[in-house]
Amino acid sequence: MPFIRTKISSDKLYYEKQKQLFIIRFAAQKRVPFIRTKISSDKLYYEKQKRLFIIRFAAQKRVPFIRTKISSDKLYYEKQKQLFIIRFAAQKRVPFIRTKISSDKLYYEKQKRLFIIRFAAQKHVPFIRTKKQVLISYIIPAISKIVVTGESKLKERKQKGRQKIRWERLDNTANLFPAIASQNMTNVYRISVTLTEEIDGALLQQALDKVLPRFDTFHVRMRKGIFWYYFETNTKPAPIVRQEKYYPCRYIDPYANNNYLFRLTYYHSRINLEVFHVLADGMGGVNFLREITYQYLRLKYDALEEKEQDDFSDETSLNTEDSYIKNYKKSHKKGYQTKRAVEVKGDKLLAGEISVIHGFMPIKAVKAACKKYDVSINEYFTAVFLYSIYREYLHGQPSAKPIAASIPVNLRPYFDSLTTRNFFVMVSAVFLPDRENISLEEVMGIVKQSLREQINKEHLEELFSYNVSNQKNIFLRFVPIFIKILAMRFVYRSSARANTTTVTNIGNIQIEEAYQPYIRHFHAMISRSVGQSIKGAVCSYQDTMVFTITSALLDVSIQRCFFRALAADGIPLLIETNGIHEK
């Protein structure tokens, strides 16, 4: 059957360069008419054609084809609800693709293929290639997730950009703690406040979220440099406040705690702040816990919120200076002892467990007992504690090694400092049991003389100046940190074994009058360390003092002897434990 040749009347299209316009063997043989069109660049459009494609397979198999109206230069699919609906695929339960088109901003330039239809691939039904981009319905959830994640990360980066990232060196004492910290020697202390009502965990979280950004001392993470550790502003959210389920003073893993180096928990009516000693000493911890407690009480009680301003107390310091460097004077005299002291040994609790015994007592009775021996509160508790070790561990027998207690001394009153970071030194109360049956009065006199010889401004200045001089040594400063860590561990183990125990006094905690009716008491505790399996901590609030003994030992004879000695001096006691010895 003859076929038709068509000449298109256009100024710019000619057949001179074409030898044949249409040679279609199949059409001639099978009598299937077709239309072949050559389109000029700008003037020939598909609007005047009733049919764009006549697909041979569609004609033979009666598979419907697709009609398309194409605009001249800009191809938009806005008015189409569906781009392709393939009836045969629908009949055979082959899924087809619905497309949502986004007018101007979605293009196909970066896609090599828009649709790959399973049936078409199997049955050789031709598919359509296009040069405009569409948003395919089945990938919308995935794209949405990517977009949301990207927006959140972008928002976080913008917030980090707005927030000034600062860094600062660790103070002189803090340099030691990262080097020696481990699961068994956590260097974590706890300060707790007990309120009159049960704690609301959600409100406590809100209180922490509000207070933390203003406390630069705690709003940091620790980074490891080439020569020293250093602090950097932590841009992550505050750590999650949790109900207490584990033993106190556990190791704080920064990677599981949003990189923060403190932990806030609660149990019934008690709020617990646990701090890695690298951040601050007990006074810094008290500042932080006090403001969290104030904020929590304002959130919980409307009367307080209306009466008290939503601001920090005048007693709260935000000073972060390194008072060691500020008050340092050149010194070359070693201020600590390395002679080994008596080490209290015995059967220990399981790993991670710790025995806690609180002794609540009226301050007036404690002061009366101190007056009896003409000693201070620190001297009194230290002497009774050393005497208890002498009686129960050495059984009143002489020893070639001394019984020594390490006593942290707060340096702020001596050097007029308000820093919230570490600013203390350690002195040792040493008692050498050179004979049998030494009385408590004799121990009181020995401890009193030992501490008073050391606790004066000149000697305290020598103690921390020696340590700072090592830090400022130009040769030591450029020693790599891994060598420094090994050296600090060795020095610490030598000095730590020169003490049998540690007794620390947080002091009297001051609370504003408006908040006092909501607070019952405070107490503190410290974790075990090398050579020191039993330790004591003292703090007071209003007219109540609490002496807390923490121990990793199963035996409680030392604790029992200690509190019995207090009772013998006329001090009424209320004993509270964590119940580990009742198991």
pLDDT (tens digit, 9 = 90+) per residue, 245-279?
A: 999 999 998 888 999 999 999 999 999 999 999 99
| Residue at token pair 């060795």 | 490
Task: Delineate the domains of the chain, giving CATH numbers in brackets.
Answer: 1-41 (no CATH), 75-162 (no CATH), 167-582 (3.30.559.30)
Which residues does residue 407 pair with via DSSP β-bridges, in sequence order?
Answer: 427
* H/E stretch holding 362: strand 355-362
Coil, helix or strand for 157? helix
Q: Would the pLDDT of 382 be above 70?
A: yes
Q: Are 249 and 189 in contact (CB under 8 A)?
A: yes
Q: Are 476 and 348 in contact (CB under 8 A)?
A: no
User: CA dist 171 to 165, 324, 460, Å?
Assistant: 19, 7, 17
Which residues does residue 220 pair with via DSSP β-bridges, in sequence order?
Answer: 233
pLDDT category, 480, cuts 50, 70, 90? confident
User: CA dist 356 to 210, 252, 386, 416, Å?
Assistant: 31, 19, 18, 34
- Closest to 424 measured CA to CA, from 488, 392, 467, 391: 467
More confident residue, 531 or 526: 526
Which of 144-148, 270-274, 488-492 shows the lowest per-residue confidence on average (mean pLDDT)? 144-148
The DSSP line for 5-21 is ------SS--STT-S-S
More confident residue, 360 or 494: 360
Count of all residues that appear for the chain in the document: 583
**Distance between CA atoms of residues 28 and 34, nearest Å:** 10
129: CB partners within 8 A, 6+ apart: 112, 113, 114
Q: Are 418 and 412 in contact (CB under 8 A)?
A: yes
DSSP 532: B
**Distance between CA atoms of residues 175 and 324, nearest Å:** 12
* H/E stretch holding 548: strand 544-551
Q: Are 392 and 558 in contact (CB under 8 A)?
A: yes
Residue 149 pLDDT:
53
| Residue at token pair 């049919």 | 51
**Distance between CA atoms of residues 457 and 532, nearest Å:** 28
**Distance between CA atoms of residues 534 and 559, nearest Å:** 9
Coil, helix or strand for 514? helix
Q: Quick: pLDDT tens for 422-465.
A: 999 999 999 999 999 899 999 999 999 999 999 999 889 888 88
Q: Quick: pLDDT tens for 326-371.
A: 888 876 566 566 688 999 999 999 888 899 999 999 999 999 999 9
240 token code pair = 């999650």
Residue 155 pLDDT:
54
What is the percent of the chain where pLDDT is above 70? 70
**Distance between CA atoms of residues 533 and 389, nearest Å:** 12
Coil, helix or strand for 190? strand
**Distance between CA atoms of residues 53 and 55, nearest Å:** 6
CB-CB neighbours of 99 under 10 Å: 18
Average pLDDT over the chain reads 78
303: CB partners within 8 A, 6+ apart: none
More confident residue, 544 or 81: 544
Alpha helices by DSSP H, 425-511: 440-454, 457-472, 474-477, 481-496
- R_g (Cα) of the chain, nearest Å: 40
Q: Would the pLDDT of 10 be above 90?
A: no
Per-residue pLDDT, averaged over 311-333, amounts to 81
Coil, helix or strand for 203? helix
Alpha helices by DSSP H, 95-139: 118-123
Residue 184 pLDDT:
83
Q: Quick: pLDDT tens for 114-123.
A: 444 444 444 4
DSSP 518: G
Q: Are 460 and 425 in contact (CB under 8 A)?
A: yes
Residue 260 pLDDT:
95
Per-residue pLDDT, averaged over 187-210, amounts to 95
